[in-house]
Amino acid sequence: MKSKQRTLIFGLISTCVVLLGTILGYSAAMITQQMNQPIPSLYPPDINLVKDRLGLSLTILDGVTGIGIGEYNGTPCIVVLLENDSLDLKAHIPTSAEGYRVITEVTGPIFAIPAKVFMVRQSGDMGCLIEECGNLSYLNDTADYIIEATVTHVETSWDELDTGIFTYTTLEIDHYVKGTPYDDASVQITTQGGTIGDLTEWVEDQPIFYEGKHVRLYLVETPDGYSILCRSFGVQEI
């Protein structure tokens, strides 16, 4: 009798152990599965990143002129700019992207206006200036461009061999006296000479610029850009 009881008890214990192992194994599997699932974000993705990702596929379409960020009923949205109101074109534009509403706006064709940079490279040759350089009429008649501008930045650095100093000057154009105006244009002038620390390199007839000064430039076209007519005579402070 006692032998049968012991057998029954061991059987019940074995069954409980098997059931417990099954439950624990199932729980571990569920926990592992849940850990492998992506954790949902509490915040939406950055709208700028969403716009950029969407733009990769949309800006290659004929008729899409741009993509930006706007508002719809007070909520940030992505705005796709279209050349026309074609239904075929709109059919390629999604109504939402990664949780953000996408709307369209017809702008018509957009033509980019190229920016113009007057790249002025002044040589430091020692050639004599011609007598006419002191004549204002000569400067006015000979210059391809006469520009009034403000010096916004002056920077000096050594050349690649550390044997000479160059000065790099940026000017914002205020007014065109002569020559065809360009939108958003600027002037960048490279001249030989300048000051770095306690060392100054002076090159004859090279103009010197100071930040904040207003100047009039007399420029002539060259094969690689522009140069200042008559060197230092072609820069007048105003």
Query: What is the Cα–Cα distance from 231 to 21, expressed in whole angstroms?
Result: 93
Residue 95's pLDDT is: 93
Report the percentage of the chain scoring pLDDT > 70: 73
Q: Is residue 111 part of a domain?
A: no
What is the pLDDT confidence band of residue 104, given thresholds at 50, 70 and 90?
very high
pLDDT of residue 35: 53
The CB density around residue 132, as the number of other CB atoms within 10 Å, is: 13
Cα gap 205→214, rounded to integer Å = 19
| Contact indicator for 143, 219 with CB cutoff of 8 Å | yes
CA distance 53 to 51: 6
Contact of 92 with 163, CB cutoff 8 Å = no
Note the residue count of the chain: 238
Give the pLDDT score at 71: 87
Angle subtended at Cα 19 by Cα 13 and Cα 24, rounded to the nearest 5 degrees: 125
The answer to whether 53 touches 34, Cβ cutoff 8 Å, is: no
**Model pLDDT, residue 146:** 92
Q: Give the tens place of pLDDT for each residue, 160-208.
A: 677 888 888 889 998 899 988 877 678 888 888 888 888 888 887 788 8
Answer yes or no: do 57 and 30 share one domain.
no
**Residues 169, 218: one domain?**
yes
Same domain, 232 and 121: yes
Query: Which pLDDT band holds residue 94 (cuts at 50, 70, 90)?
Result: very high
Shared domain for 98 and 181, answered yes or no, is no
132 and 204, same domain (yes or no): yes
In the structure encoding, which two tokens stand for residue 66, read together? 């741009």
**Rounded distance, CA 80 to CA 6, Å?**
80
**Same structural domain for residues 226 and 157?**
yes
One domain for residues 230 and 146: yes
- Domain annotation covers residue 112: no
- DSSP characters for 14-29? HHHHHHHHHHHHHHHH
Report whether 78 contacts 51 (CB < 8 A).
yes
Q: Domain check: are 138 and 228 in the same one?
A: yes
- CATH assignment at residue 159: 2.40.50
**Do both 226 and 176 map to the same domain?**
yes
pLDDT for position 159: 75
Question: Does 121 reside within a domain?
Answer: yes
Provide the domain limits for residue 20.
1-39
Residue labelled with tokens 């002044």: 122
- Regarding whether 66 and 22 lie in a shared domain, the answer is no
Q: pTM of the full predicted structure?
A: 0.50
Residues 122 and 192 in one domain: yes
Q: How far apart are CA 238 and CA 218, in angstroms?
A: 13
Q: Quote the pLDDT of residue 85.
A: 85
Percent pLDDT > 90 in the chain is 19
**192: its two tokens:** 């030989």
**Residues in Cβ contact with 98 at an 8 Å cutoff, skipping those fewer than 6 apart:** 44, 45, 50, 53
Q: For residue 218, name the pLDDT band (cuts at 50, 70, 90).
A: very high
**For 56-87, how does the pLDDT look when each residue is reduced to its tens digit (9 = 90+)?**
888 788 888 888 888 888 899 999 988 888 88
Tell me: the pLDDT tens digits for 9-62?
545 455 554 454 555 555 555 545 555 554 455 667 889 888 888 888 887 888
On whether both 164 and 182 belong to a single domain, the answer is yes
Which pLDDT score, from 0 to 100, does residue 25 have?
56
Residues 110-142 pLDDT 10s: 654 445 567 777 654 444 567 788 888 999 999
What domain count does the chain have?
3
pLDDT at 190: 86
